[in-house]
Each structure stands twice: as C-alpha cells, then as structure tokens.
Amino acid sequence: MLPINSRSEPDLFTVSLKKVIDLEHPLVKLAALIDWDAIRQEIEPVFCDDNGRPATDVRIVMGLFYLKSAFDQSDEQLIQRWIENPYWQWFCGYTVMQHKPPIDPTTLSRWRSRLGAERLEILLQQTIQVARRTGQLRKPQLEKINVDTTVQPKAIAFPTDARLYFKAARSLVRLAQNAGVVLRRSYKFTNKTLLVMQGRYARAKHYRRARKCERKLRTHLGCLLRDVSRKLTSLTNQTHREALEQLLTIVRQIFKQQRTDSPKIYSVHEPHVECIAKGKAHKKYEFGCKVSVATTNANNFIVGVLALHGNPFDGHTLQQTMDQVVKLTKVEPEHIMVDRGYRGHGYQGSGKVHLAGRIPKIATRAFRKMLKRRSAIEPTIGHLKNDHRMERNYLKGREGDRINALVSAIGYNLRKLLAGLACAWFLPVLALDRLNGKLKSRLYQFILPGQNPNTWPFLISP
C-alpha cells in the first residue's frame, strides 16, 4: 500500500486543512472515532505487494465508501464533490488541501468486486462500534432486536415476452459477431420494428396484432438460436466459446419458458432476478431479491442486513440474520420482534421470538412498549430505499445484491451517527473509558482541544 503521508506532507504552496475546517464538525469527530487500523488489517491481505502497481491506501478508499453510502452519491459524483469538500478530504486522511481526485471513479468498482460482501461487513461493524463508543448504542439495547424483510429491486425493465425475445436475440447477435461467427441473418432492424409495433398495438388494444408481432419475435429468436448452436463447434477461441455457451443456456430457457413455469428468467443480463409477490395494490410484484434487515428496538440502529436469493420463506431467514447480528455485535439477543410472516420460523438461538399483534394482557408497561416498537423498522426500510440506494440496485450479480444491501445499511448508520455528533457535542466522550490510548489521544486533539474530559461531572460510565 502507498502510505497516505506521502501525499499529504505540507509544503510552502499547500494549505493545511486544520486552518480551513471546523474541528468540531461531525465528520471530523467521526473520522477520529473510526478505528482505521482495524479496517486496514482486514483489507490489506487481499492485495499483493510484489505484483503490479501498489494499491491505493485503504484509508482513502474506505473513507470514500463511507461518504458514498452516507450521502447517496454515484461513483462519479463522489469524486467530483470530494475535490470541492475539505471535510471529505480530512475524513479520508488528508491533512492538506487536494485539487486532484485521489482515484479514478472506476477504481471503486474494482475494489467492490475484489473485496466482496464478506470483507465489507467490517465497515458496518465499525459503525456499530462507534455508536457504542459514543454512547448512542448500549449493550441492553442490542439485546432487543426488530427483524423484517423487504425486496431490493434490480435495475431491469419490466419483463414482457416481446421485450425478452428482442433482448435475447440482440445479445446473441452481438456476442456471436464479436466471436467471429457469420450468421445467416441477424434480424437486427426487423426485430426492432416488430418490438415497436407490438407496443403500439398493445397500447391501442389491438391484442391480436400485438400477439402476431410477439410470435414473429419468438420465431426469429429460434432461428438465431439454432444458427449459433450449429456454428458453435467451429469456434477455436475457448473464451468466446464459453461465453456463447453460457448465453445460449439463458436464451434457450427464455425461448422455451411458459406462463406457468417456475423459475423463469426475467432479464438477459441479470438472469438470477426473482419475481416476488407483494400483494399490495400499488405494487403487486417486484423483481429483485429479498433482503432481511435487523435493527435495535430502541433507537433503530441497523445491526444486520442480508441479501437472500431464491425467494425464501421469511421464517427460514431468521437464523441467518441472527447469526450475522451476533457476529457483528458480539451480543446474543434476548428478545426478537417479528411480524406474522415469521410464523413457523424454527429459530434455534437462546433469544425469545415475539410475533407482532400478540401482546399478553398481563404484560408489563415496558414489555408492551417493546412489542409495539416492532413497527419502527418499517420507516427504517423506507429510509434505506429512498435515501440509500436500496430502491434500485445497479450493482451486477448476486454479489452486487449483497454489497448494495450492506452499503445501504452502512450509509443509514452513518447518518444517525453524524446527527448524534452534531446535536450533542459532548457525546463522543460519554463512554471514553472504552477507548484505547490512541483513540483517546485523537479525541483530545481533534474534538476537545485544550480540555480534559475526565474532570467533567456529566460523564456517563459505559
């Protein structure tokens, strides 16, 4: 890894960020509280120091991941705003003002694919640990958990048979021509005209004509499928041959599948997408994957999020979700609040599962309040979708589903942390005894310059 100090040494022509920024800004406080060394120990083994160009420093890229998730930016927008925002530069570890981007936006995609969801879980774990250090999250609150599932839609068009036939034929023609296969006919312009006319006829309620265009599209797809299959054996390039075989498997299923078949393919470029019935008037079906979300009952911090494929029954996802919660928090939940979709869950942990709507008459006031707060997870899911990119997932493949769900949860927790640090300036030292010497000295330097927090009367012991 390239040391970050090699790019941050001040000289005569640079501006120190300490003279520009407010050291009591929430982002400055948060940067001092995150244990970057723990993140570096988990991430650096992925990279090889003696093979190729050295990778960018972990602190920079992980800081960019945090900022992207918290402020809902695309990769390109993130880098553009980073150049203009000195607080973002400080958060990523720089001490002098930078006027050039630290990395190319495409680098973030390569980091995501190399790290995967397993190693990105440490970023979510760090947000939970920071919440505990600052007193925003305590151990008794981690013992009461709300769990629910939602759908993470994929960035695909609504699937119709005509559009699937058209896109399958187009993908097959493109890949075959790139591989050097000479086709008898590509149907490129004919299929495009048929798709447009099918949509017009369907809009005008001329369903018979629309079905005729759809049948022609399917016929053309069958011709292309047989033509490419015959000429596949003549390919000498193994890479092109394997790619064509993989695409032919998807196209054959699209060509053969009927209305009542299951499972079906709804997208050529994302064949793993599932159709999940919602049963709601405004949105009967969603195309994506199921996501299980676990939050604390008291203050709605996200302590677990999993993207689950295969459209599993909600109750069968509870064990996996609780295993992740224990892994990230190191605390075994005692009370788990779920809705009626989790009936027959078969959870094997030590915690007790409570179904919504079943409050005993002899329940105490505190227990009744805890059960009523199960519905607090619903607005949390709404924030994940509207503010943190879970409403439409643009990352590719099953691994992209898991990464996008994690990044959304990380951004939600960061926003809560920043709000807490902004409204209570003494909050980072409420549990100061938990911190090691390095973090404590950084707090004194950046958050409490010239003051000794140990002498303050309102400190709360952890």
Rg of the chain, C-alpha, whole Å: 27
The per-residue pLDDT for 70 is: 93
* Same structural domain, 293 and 399: yes
Strand (E) or helix (H) holding 239: helix 238-256
First to last CA, the chain: 36
* Same structural domain, 242 and 302: no
Which amino acid, 278? K
Q: List the one residue out of 413, 297, 290 whose CA is nearest residue 352.
A: 297
* Same structural domain, 312 and 194: no
Boundary (domain end) residue, out of 236, 256, 276: 256
* Same structural domain, 211 and 250: yes
* Same structural domain, 114 and 147: no
* Same structural domain, 293 and 151: yes
Do 160 and 297 meet the contact criterion of CB atoms below 8 Å apart? no
CATH number at residue 321: 3.30.420
Q: Within a domain: residue 433?
A: no
Q: Within a domain: residue 9?
A: yes
Ordered DSSP codes for 366-428: HHHHHHHGGGGHHHHHHHHHHHSS-SSB-S-HHHHHHHHHHHHHHHHHHHHHHHHHHH-TTGG
The per-residue pLDDT for 9 is: 52
Residues in the chain: 462
Q: Within a domain: residue 199?
A: yes
Q: Within a domain: residue 185?
A: yes
* Same structural domain, 200 and 55: no
The per-residue pLDDT for 51 is: 67
The per-residue pLDDT for 457 is: 37
Residue 70 phi, psi dihedral angles, 5° rounding: -75, -35
Q: Residue 213 sits in which domain range? A: 161-256
Lookup: tokens for 337: 């609040």
Q: How many CB atoms lie within 10 A of CB 422?
A: 14
Do 291 and 307 meet the contact criterion of CB atoms below 8 Å apart? yes
* Same structural domain, 128 and 8: yes
Residue 337 phi, psi dihedral angles, 5° rounding: -100, 125
Q: Sign of dihedral through CA atoms 140, 142, 147, 153?
A: positive
* Same structural domain, 37 and 90: yes
* Same structural domain, 96 and 145: no
Q: Within a domain: residue 461?
A: no
Do 380 and 292 meet the contact criterion of CB atoms below 8 Å apart? no
pTM of the model: 0.85
- Between CA 220 and CA 186 the distance in angstroms is 9
Q: Within a domain: residue 99?
A: yes
Task: Report residues of the chain scoring pLDDT below 70.
Answer: 1-13, 49-51, 424-462
The per-residue pLDDT for 12 is: 54
Boundary (domain end) residue, out of 132, 147, 170: 132
* Same structural domain, 151 and 168: no
Which amino acid, 461? S
- Between CA 183 and CA 250 the distance in angstroms is 19
Structural domain count, the chain: 3
The per-residue pLDDT for 439 is: 53
Q: Partners of 306 in the beta sheet?
A: 292
Do 352 and 336 meet the contact criterion of CB atoms below 8 Å apart? yes
- Between CA 332 and CA 325 the distance in angstroms is 8
Q: Within a domain: residue 57?
A: yes
Do 158 and 202 meet the contact criterion of CB atoms below 8 Å apart? no
Lookup: tokens for 359: 């409050």
Q: Within a domain: residue 51?
A: yes
- Between CA 342 and CA 105 the distance in angstroms is 41
Residue 130: partners with Cβ closer than 8 Å, 6 or more residues away = 30, 33, 34, 417
Ordered DSSP codes for 132-187: HHTTSS-HHHHTEEEEEEEEEEBS-PPP-HHHHHHHHHHHHHHHHHHTT---S---
* Same structural domain, 390 and 310: yes
Do 315 and 149 meet the contact criterion of CB atoms below 8 Å apart? no
Q: List the one residue out of 425, 443, 403, 319 whose CA is nearest residue 32.
A: 443
Q: Partners of 305 in the beta sheet?
A: 293
Q: Partners of 14 in the beta sheet?
A: none
